[in-house]
Amino acid sequence: MDFVYGPGKNHLFVPGPVNIPEPVIRAMNRNNEDYRSPAIPALTKTLLEDVKKIFKTTSGTPFLIPTTGTGAWESALTNTLSPGDRIVSFLIGQFSLLWIDQQQRLNFRVDVIESDWGRGADLDALASKLEADRSHTIKAVCIVHNETATGVTSDLAAVRKLLDEYRHPALLLVDGVSSICALDFRMDEWGVDVALTGSQKALSMPTGMGIVCASPKAMEAAKTAKSVRVFFDWNDYLKFYKLGTYWPYTPSIQLLYGLRTALDLLFEEGLDNVIARHSRLGKATRLAVEAWGLKNCTQREEWFSDTVTAVVVPPYINSADVVKRAWTRYNLSLGLGLNKVAGKVFRIGHLGNLNELQLLGCLSGVEMVLKDVGYPVKLGSGVAAAAAYLRNSTPMITSRI
């Protein structure tokens, strides 16, 4: 039973944590096991092989860490860098801000490239820094692929192109927490050295597993990195990989079984189809926002996110009232505006195990909330725009043909 009961189902449309599909819930509904038995290493081996597919890598080394995205950040940084190392990091919203704070507290020298919230990574500023860095003092470039605070997706391929153009050896470290398994992500092709995600986003699992994947170049850097790490030390994992037992400490048995089922669902749908589905849902949401007469926080189409849309409200409305009203009256959970955009935007998450009709239900709820808080929306306008697009773009369910 919900801690605060509401009739029917809670409509969860924050950009993470997301809805958990029933097969994953059932897979996790099991007792504890001895992780030193033959069963768990055998399961873990298949998971390590298969998570490489969601990163689109054949050469990367994956790590399944019992942590959140924040812990995955720390794992990526401390295993590849040394205190005092110079890194370049893009500030484009709340989560890139938090990662930069972590970088600074871990005693790295951070060159911050800041953009207005609602804009993507400033690649011209990166080009200038790379061109000036003839002695290669920059050891890493850190970027949040999809900034969920503002609904902005940055161009990773363009970042790699710049690094190659200037023949710069800096590592490319990428937060793919709200992009991997939902947006196009190509670790090998784009030369990403460390990529990371969290179980509670597009994988559609509970929070609690940080998944990190390191390129051969990153693994080589880990051999000389001097940052202090204990819980997040990749070397501890590698020792147990060689032994065939895989775990330096007790894993969450239930999350491992959940991950197995989550991956199976993704592969059954087909990863390219999953990405296409998110593209449809993102486009439909943006069409609804346009029909409501409201603006997207993201300032250019090239930066639109297909996993979250940040909707700008008029100055006479506090977006926190939209979120509160949605939850208290309609059992609909929307994302708050954070930090610089607090009170100015609310966020609609459209990622994970989610379909077209679920999204249309959310959009109808948003319309009622907007009417409640005094915005003169025409009821049905956004739903109609989204539905018209989805009816013409949604394919047949492959397994049911």
How far apart CA 121 and CA 123 sit, in angstroms, is 6
174 closest CA partner among 138, 147, 202, 204 = 147
Per the document, the length of the chain is 401
pLDDT per position as a tens digit, 164-207: 999 999 999 999 999 999 999 999 999 999 999 999 999 999 99
Same fold, 11-18+271-400 and 22-267: no
How far apart CA 230 and CA 235 sit, in angstroms, is 9
Residue 3's pLDDT is 83
110 closest CA partner among 78, 142, 158 = 142
CA 354 → CA 203, 245, 260, 278, 362, distances in Å? 11, 35, 19, 9, 11
How far apart CA 268 and CA 311 sit, in angstroms, is 33
Q: Which two tokens stand for residue 157?
A: 């391929």
Phi/psi for 334 (5° steps) reads -115, 165
Phi/psi for 210 (5° steps) reads -100, 130
* CATH fourth-level superfamily of 11-18+271-400: Aspartate Aminotransferase, domain 1 (3.90.1150.10)
Phi/psi for 390 (5° steps) reads -65, -35
Residue 176's pLDDT is 98
Q: Which two tokens stand for residue 322?
A: 């939209």
Question: Which residue stretches of the chain have pLDDT < 50?
Answer: none
How far apart CA 40 and CA 383 sit, in angstroms, is 46
> What burial class does residue 99 get, using C-beta atoms within 10 Å of its C-beta: 0-12 exposed, 13-18 middle, 19+ buried?
buried
How far apart CA 325 and CA 372 sit, in angstroms, is 8
CB 20 within 8 A of CB 206: yes
Residues 6+ apart with CB under 8 A from 101: none
How far apart CA 241 and CA 246 sit, in angstroms, is 5
CB 151 within 8 A of CB 310: yes
CB 113 within 8 A of CB 142: no
Angle formed at CA 220 by CA 219 and CA 223, multiple of 5 degrees: 95
Q: Which two tokens stand for residue 29?
A: 């509904």
Fold of the 22-267 domain: Aspartate Aminotransferase; domain 2 (3.40.640)
Domain spans, the chain: 11-18+271-400, 22-267
Residue 1's pLDDT is 65
CB 333 within 8 A of CB 152: no
